[in-house]
Amino acid sequence: MDEHLRVEFNEWARTGRGEGMEKGHRPVGEQAIRQMRLLANARVLDVGCGSGWASRLIAERVPGGQVIGIDISDEMVQLARNSSSGFPNLAGC
Digit-coded pLDDT (tens) for 25-48: 899 999 999 999 999 999 999 999
The CATH number of the domain holding residue 24 is 3.40.50.150
In three-state secondary structure terms, 43 is strand
Q: What pTM, to 2 d.p., does this model score? A: 0.89
Look at residues 13, 7, 16, 2 and name the one whose alpha carbon lies nearest to residue 76: 13
Helix-strand-coil split of the chain, %, nearest 5: 55, 15, 35
Parent domain of 59: 3-91
Query: For residue 21, what pLDDT is reported?
Result: 81
Q: How many domains does the chain have?
A: 1
Q: How far apart are CA 84 and CA 67, in angstroms?
A: 11
